[in-house]
Every structure is written in structure tokens, then in C-alpha cells.
Structure 1
């Protein structure tokens, strides 16, 4: 008696190159956006200046604590994003049919989280992050959108004209 296993891999390899390019771009943009947080902390101090403006009564120690907290949060979010990109790249390279669903889910969660971090108001009534830093954090979502659109467009064209 033989046991049959369901093949969960797709045979459509024509779109994998552009999708993988989008996924690798998103991975690079994620790493760069996290690196920007550390570069900002070491140089221009955009985040620190934003916090000083939002909380004029805070002294240097409290500002530094807030900058450290934001740096930690953004680093953790970025690290989770890197894991997501690597998982999506792996699933796409292996040709799993569920890779499109994974990408769409990761895109939705990542974009929602990025928009939240961009727009969240803190106790001062101002946004927690400076707008420039929040927008930089959303850049990887553009690559994610491209990957999702390429994946779903290819699925639609493959199934067009096929009986249901």
C-alpha cells in the first residue's frame, strides 16, 4: 500500500525572480531602517530632538531613557521583520503554494504595525516618533506590496480561463 502526499509546491517559476528581488529589497530596506535608528542616535539625534520638543520638562537622563526605549522597540520590530523576510524568501525559493498567503499576511501585519508606530500619540499629544523616522520604517512595506502584487498577479494569470 502506498501513501500519497499532497504536493504543496507550485510549478510556476516564471515570476519567482521578480518576487525574490522584491523580497530581498524589503530585507535590505528593513536592515537599513534599523541601522538608521542607530545612526540617528549616534549623530543627528532626530529622535532625541523630537522627544525634547514633545517633553520640554524632561532632563537629559529621561530623554536618553526614552531614546533607548524607542531604539529597543524599533530594533525588536526590525528583527521580527528580518525573520519575516527570510521566511518569505525561503518559502518562495522552495516554491511552496502558501508563500503568497504568507507574504500577504506579513505585509498586512508589518504595514499595520508601521502605520501604528508612525501615528501613535504619546502622553504629550505628539506622535511618539518623528515623521521622518516613521516613514523610513514604512519603506520596506513598499517592497512587500510589490512582492504580494507580483505573486497574486501571477496566480490570477495562471488560473484565468481555467474551469472552477
Structure 2
């Protein structure tokens, strides 16, 4: 029988995964919007690496977006697997 304490303990990691997935989505969305509007990210890269040419800056932003999107989809897959199995993975009891 599952007690209330065990259920709330199982929900905490799941809630953290949802929060992480949401924050990753917001960060990726900001970068996509920034690329087509204010270019703050491109300006930051240009200021940090003055030797970069415009093509290299575009490639750096594309790589950042690809890595962030992949990381976000990995989190989403972990949340989906956890939900399908009915709870968060736990360490074995000692």
C-alpha cells in the first residue's frame, strides 16, 4: 500500500523534470525569437569573440539552438517515460 508520504516523494522528481523542461523550452524560444528580432545573442558572441566572422557567429547560434533543443527533447522523453511507468525512478532501499 502506498502512503501519502511515498506518493509526495515520488512526485517531487517529476515536478522538477517538468520545471526543467519548461525552462529549457523558454530558453530555446527566447533564442529563436532573439535571432529574428534584437540579435542580443549574436551581439554578445560578437563582443566576446571579436575575431569571429558573421558566418561563424551564425553557426555558433545554430549550434547553441540545436544543443538546447536536443537537451529539451531529452528532458521531455524522460518525463514521458516517467509518467508512463507511473512514477519517478528511485534508488533501491538499503
Normalised by the length of structure 1, the TM-score is 0.43
**In the alignment, which residue of structure 2 is the partner of 1:50?**
44
**In the alignment, which residue of structure 1 is the partner of 2:7?**
13
2:20–2:75: 8 Å Cα contact kept in structure 1?
Answer: yes
Q: Which runs of 5+ in 1 are unaligned?
A: 1-10, 101-154
**In the alignment, which residue of structure 2 is the partner of 1:88?**
78
**In the alignment, which residue of structure 2 is the partner of 1:79?**
69
How many residues align? The count is: 88
Highest CA radius of gyration, 1 or 2?
1
Deviation, 1:70, is 1.9
C-alpha distance 52-68 of structure 1, shift in aligned 2 (>3 A) = closer
**From 23, 31, 38, the counterpart of 1:37:** 31
Deviation, 1:67, is 3.2
* Aligned residues: CA RMSD: 2.8
Deviation >6 Å, runs of 4+: none
| Alpha-carbon distance in 1 for matches of 2:11, 2:87 | 15
Normalised by the length of structure 2, the TM-score is 0.66
User: When you count helix as a share of all residues, which structure comes out higher?
Assistant: 2
Q: Which runs of 5+ in 2 are unaligned?
A: none
2:28–2:65: 8 Å Cα contact kept in structure 1?
Answer: yes
Q: Could you say which structure has the greater relative contact order, defined with CA pairs below 8 angstroms and 6 or more residues apart?
A: 2
| Alpha-carbon distance in 2 for matches of 1:37, 1:88 | 23
**In the alignment, which residue of structure 2 is the partner of 1:118?**
none
